[in-house]
Structure 1
Amino acid sequence: MSRRFLPALLAPSLTLALAWPTAAAAAPSPTLHDDNPNGKSGDWYTGAIPPNASDDKPVLLFVQGLHSDYTTWTADDDYYTAAYNAGYRTAFVQLPDADGAGGSMWTNGSVLADVIKKAADYYHVPQINVIAHSKGGIDTQAALVHYGAHPYVNVVHQLGTPNKGSELADLAYSDWTWWLAEILGMRDDAVYSLQTSYMAQFREQTDSRPEARKAATYMGAATGDDGWFSATWFAHAVLPGSDDGAVSLDSAFGLPYGIRAFTDNGSETLSHSMLRYASKTWEQVRPKLKLASAGWSEAGAAEAEWADAGLAEEADQAVRVPARSGDEAAGAIYRGGEVDGVQTERIPLEGGIENVLIDIMVADKATAVELISPSGEVYKPEEGEAVPDELGIFGKAVHRVFSLDKPEKGEWTARISGERDAYFLLAAVQGGVDLKWRADKQVFKKNDTASLQLATRSGKAKQTSLQQAALRRSGSGKGTALQQLRVHAASDSEMNVRFQVPSEPGVYNLSFEVSGVDESGEAFTRSVNYNFAVTDEDGEIPRPE
């Protein structure tokens, strides 16, 4: 869990932004190339030619992120205006997401590859530069590597791209969130493809191919959020390490041959959504844009960029996708299910907790939520701000939030009252029992044995046990209990969990509770969601249908 849940962060902070011209000329509306008369997917736009345009500046193609359309780049504080005033010729793509449900990198990559070629032909240039936000960077990789667009692109600049996937996508398929996800329509091919185990195989399929290194790829990332109670704020409890509220730094910088361009903006931390604002990042992206020179060659262009960035050694090495890097903290408690009447959830909190932030998400604003302390005091929630989730996974939920400093120890009760609704409860704990876990790997052959190691800080817990383990196959319906979990307790504070993975290929989430008694004899619990995949006879994970 990220450190951003510390109570000190509730105080307002001053930030420093890059200077941004106040008198920038408004860019004329882009011109539509209506190549799909039956929808938006495959349509594309060209921006107006700036009066200061010149052939010594590359053509820029902008690629939006998940569940977005081309207006990502033309709305307020937009990259189109910035590029127009700087003299760049531009193009914009409409991916399948513009027509409704998000597409996987395979669907979107095929569409994008065609538009890349069309944009280069339209402007009569051999190569263009791509600027991609969020999942648009994954779609760009698919277009270049798997759909033949690499000869047409010499520079890619990613802004918050989940190169290793996102734990938010994993959680969307977990046992706790299943009911709420069903009501909100949070799952589609795009979210499926962003699960971390699926992305682990995509990295193997993509990074080992020579086409992956034809373009120099820059990676921009961030570590902020959109404010107290926003969708990007709650995501800090789910994502490991530093993150931008949708993508962890580890994932944003997860391209082994990518070049780290920037993190945040000077002294100002940025959220995932802010990365696409011109006033925040354009001046950091602009120096990386390059024209394909007459002496450009596929063999040398990207390698020269890697050498400049001190990455020449990595450019010569075979690509290896590691297992999950290091221990992962389990500092949250998850609950979830249906609501039709009154539903209660018990939340045991041990002593020594500095702060707990409880976010109860529902679909219906009419659903009432309250929190009751062990001594009977009733707490009413704050309402979360309506800030869209840039990964489009939990943004539609109604957030009801409680912040408790040094909470009373004992069993708390959440009471949720509503009709035909669902809830997901996330309690982010600071202090108390420190649980960490590690998995050997995420991608298996059928009937392999998976192994997880769990440990609490020495002296902080005893009598640890595993509870309520449930397994769900992503894309399927009802979850099933996993009966064959084998737990070996090395000590009161360490466990090794082993189980045989299913024989049916697919992506799975194993959701379970780790419960026990701390050194003071007080009950505690923490939640773990382990995302893994099982390959078919050809070594492939089934693609989204």
Structure 2
Amino acid sequence: MHTGNVRWGKSPVSVDLDKPVLVFVPGLMNDSSIWYEGNDMCERAQTAGYETVFVELHDSCGNSKSYWENGRLLASHLEKIHLLTPGKELVLICYSKGGVDAQTALVHEGKHELVSDVVTIGSPHYGSELADLAASPPFIWLAEWAGRNNEGVKSLQTGAMSYFREITDNRKEVSKNRYYTMAGNWNGPIFSSYWFGGGFIGGENDGVVSTSGASLPGAEMLAVGRWNHGQVHLGQNAFPLIEPVLKGETPSPVRESAEEEAPSLHILVRGGMEQQPMETFHVEKEAEKIVINWMSPRQLETLTVTSPGKEPALYDVEAVKDDTGFFDGIYHHLLQWKNPAPGEWTVSSDGFPNLPYGFTVSFDSPLNKKLYVQRTEKEGVFTVHTDGEIPEFPDKMFMELLFYPAGTPGREEVLRYSQELFGREMTLPVYEEGTYNLSVEIEGKTKSGGRYQRTVSQSAYRTADGAIR
């Protein structure tokens, strides 16, 4: 695939001049084949009598760009398609980040007059927490190895997207098109990469994008269904819900029940690149289950685990290749324990030294609901709150931060920042306009005397006038 291509689909047997032309927009690190390889979306549209067009953006050749760059390219595509389809309406059908690229083209590049309707499917309109993770200090080495330390991923950090919403939603161009959205709320099957993504995101999500984050101000949600991110755009799931919109009919929104909402602060996040990678962590007595995930560019067969009071033991692991789009070529290796022994645990990988790795521990524990982080009214200040069984102040907090200056990709290595924090407040250091990605590890004691550890991973955007979004 080549960036800048516009490809026309097979003509329907009978072309109806009153039907719109469907323009399919791919997502992050995708090309147009996601619409017709292993997906009957194209076939269904053509069988129903619609002309189809498939566009390639920067991601199609493996060079993911921000929605600003993709939006400009898509704008030029729309001009070309419009000239070749005089008198026909264009409807954009967009998957994942393609929905943000499309709104950029219509609103910020002024191409709204060329399009009637926009359907976004599993689009991260408020960013993705997995983008925050990929661009975070613990995981930046792993993302670099996976080729995901790129402009496209960085632009989807939740802080950057919060700023995008602020400068987009109130513009008059937004009202010139009809927007519709679809979202998934299933992140299975268990132990899949979507399951990992869903556990990190929390709440209703499709393993990559939260259900609430796939909604769009002023848009009608066509459906929230039991699909993961790799299923939500399939023709069998999406086209029957989109076709009434294409026919000018009033859609009937569908909402299926979701899995139980995950706790808000329930995970420990580490990572790096070491000669002998090893991680030590604490499990509180209250924990009912833990899930360990060791992420590596290589498939591992075993992990060495030392639990409290036990000798090191070798555990067989199955390598599951990542499908989320944020860690391409990376493998997940998962182990879980019910009623884990409280105390200090150690996990190590003996296979491949000097390779980047990511490490997470998910805790199923009553403490999760008693520990949360909230942004205060003071600019750039976050506070740790505790409730009940946890003392008010953590024993330790350590913050690492990467700063991504606006408009200058690649400077984040220069502006790495770390600090040991005291009390329960964490304050973003002030640099300049751009995205701040912070990872804060919190350690403290429960009232029963056990130790707990959790990680806050979050991004924020500082505007030119100093406001934090």
1:466, distance to aligned residue in structure 2 (A)? 3.4
User: Which residue in the other structure is 1:533 paired with?
Assistant: 461
Rounded Cα–Cα distance in structure 2 between residues aligned with 1:356 and 1:187: 29
Matches within 5 A, 1:106-505: 106-253=68-215, 255-264=216-225, 269-290=226-247, 329-340=264-275, 342-365=276-299, 369-376=303-310, 378-386=313-321, 388-389=323-324, 392-417=325-350, 418-434=352-368, 435-440=371-376, 449-461=379-391, 464-474=394-404, 475=410, 476-477=412-413, 479-482=416-419, 485=421, 487=423, 495=424, 497-499=425-427, 501-505=429-433
Going from structure 1 to structure 2, the CA distance change for 1:42 and 1:290 (only over 3 Å counts) comes to farther
Going from structure 1 to structure 2, the CA distance change for 1:228 and 1:540 (only over 3 Å counts) comes to closer
User: Which residue in the other structure is 2:42 paired with?
Assistant: 80
Rounded Cα–Cα distance in structure 2 between residues aligned with 1:241 and 1:500: 26
Rounded Cα–Cα distance in structure 1 between residues aligned with 2:393 and 2:383: 16
Going from structure 1 to structure 2, the CA distance change for 1:113 and 1:380 (only over 3 Å counts) comes to same
Rounded Cα–Cα distance in structure 2 between residues aligned with 1:136 and 1:519: 48
1:154, distance to aligned residue in structure 2 (A)? 1.1
Q: SS of the counterpart of 2:448?
A: coil
- Could you report, residue by residue, the CA deviation over 1:54-98 in whole angstroms, capped at 9, with x for unpaired residues? 123211000010000011111123211110111111101010111
State the AA in 1 paired with 2:145. I
The total of aligned residue pairs comes to 450
State the AA in 2 paired with 1:84. Q
State the AA in 1 paired with 2:459. N
Deviates more, 1:410-419 or 1:448-457: 448-457
Q: SS of the counterpart of 2:99?
A: helix
Rounded Cα–Cα distance in structure 1 between residues aligned with 2:176 and 2:236: 30
Rounded Cα–Cα distance in structure 1 between residues aligned with 2:76 and 2:468: 26
Deviates more, 1:125-134 or 1:371-380: 371-380
Q: Does the 8 Å contact 1:126/1:152 carry over to 2?
A: no
State the AA in 1 paired with 2:418. A
Rounded Cα–Cα distance in structure 2 between residues aligned with 1:427 and 1:538: 35
TM-score by length of structure 2 reads 0.90
Q: SS of the counterpart of 2:305?
A: strand
Q: SS of the counterpart of 2:182?
A: strand
Q: SS of the counterpart of 1:388?
A: coil
C-alpha RMSD over aligned residues: 2.5
Q: Does the 8 Å contact 1:161/1:247 carry over to 2?
A: yes
Deviates more, 1:343-352 or 1:239-248: 343-352
Q: Does the 8 Å contact 1:367/1:416 carry over to 2?
A: no
State the AA in 2 paired with 1:520. S
Going from structure 1 to structure 2, the CA distance change for 1:453 and 1:539 (only over 3 Å counts) comes to closer
1:426, distance to aligned residue in structure 2 (A)? 0.8
Q: Does the 8 Å contact 1:112/1:139 carry over to 2?
A: yes
The reply to whether residue 524 of structure 1 matches residue 459 of structure 2 is no
Going from structure 1 to structure 2, the CA distance change for 1:500 and 1:121 (only over 3 Å counts) comes to closer
- Could you report, residue by residue, the CA deviation over 1:289-317 in whole angstroms, capped at 9, with x for unpaired residues? 246xxxxxxxxxxxx989x99xxxxxxxx
Q: SS of the counterpart of 1:472?
A: strand
Rounded Cα–Cα distance in structure 1 between residues aligned with 2:428 and 2:38: 51
Rounded Cα–Cα distance in structure 2 between residues aligned with 1:468 and 1:425: 17
State the AA in 2 paired with 1:470. E
Q: SS of the counterpart of 1:425?
A: strand
Q: Does the 8 Å contact 2:439/2:455 carry over to 1?
A: yes
TM-score by length of structure 1 reads 0.78
Ranges in structure 2 where 5+ consecutive residues have no aligned partner: 254-261, 405-409
Q: SS of the counterpart of 1:102?
A: coil
State the AA in 2 paired with 1:472. L
1:215, distance to aligned residue in structure 2 (A)? 1.0
1:505, distance to aligned residue in structure 2 (A)? 2.7
Rounded Cα–Cα distance in structure 2 between residues aligned with 1:368 and 1:401: 10
State the AA in 2 paired with 1:362. S
Matches within 5 A, 1:14-163: 40-163=2-125
Q: SS of the counterpart of 2:320?
A: coil
Going from structure 1 to structure 2, the CA distance change for 1:393 and 1:500 (only over 3 Å counts) comes to closer
Rounded Cα–Cα distance in structure 2 between residues aligned with 1:366 and 1:538: 46
State the AA in 2 paired with 1:438. Q
**510, 520, 541: which is aligned to 2:438?**
510
Rounded Cα–Cα distance in structure 1 between residues aligned with 2:145 and 2:131: 16
Q: SS of the counterpart of 2:278?
A: strand
- Could you report, residue by residue, the CA deviation over 1:201-241 in whole angstroms, capped at 9, with x for unpaired residues? 11111111111111111110001135232221101122131
Q: Does the 8 Å contact 2:277/2:353 carry over to 1?
A: no
Going from structure 1 to structure 2, the CA distance change for 1:504 and 1:482 (only over 3 Å counts) comes to farther
Rounded Cα–Cα distance in structure 2 between residues aligned with 1:173 and 1:509: 7
Going from structure 1 to structure 2, the CA distance change for 1:215 and 1:202 (only over 3 Å counts) comes to same
Q: SS of the counterpart of 1:516?
A: strand
Rounded Cα–Cα distance in structure 2 between residues aligned with 1:373 and 1:65: 42
Rounded Cα–Cα distance in structure 2 between residues aligned with 1:145 and 1:86: 30
Q: Does the 8 Å contact 1:462/1:516 carry over to 2?
A: no
Q: Does the 8 Å contact 1:229/1:384 carry over to 2?
A: no
- Could you report, residue by residue, the CA deviation over 1:457-505 in whole angstroms, capped at 9, with x for unpaired residues? 312446523322112113411632136x563xxxxxxx4x142532233
Q: SS of the counterpart of 1:67?
A: coil
State the AA in 2 paired with 1:416. S
Q: Does the 8 Å contact 1:127/1:154 carry over to 2?
A: yes
Rounded Cα–Cα distance in structure 2 between residues aligned with 1:119 and 1:367: 50
Identity over aligned residues, as a percent? 30
State the AA in 1 paired with 2:79. K
State the AA in 1 paired with 2:173. E
- Could you report, residue by residue, the CA deviation over 1:84-128 in whole angstroms, capped at 9, with x for unpaired residues? 111111101010111222111111111111212222322223431
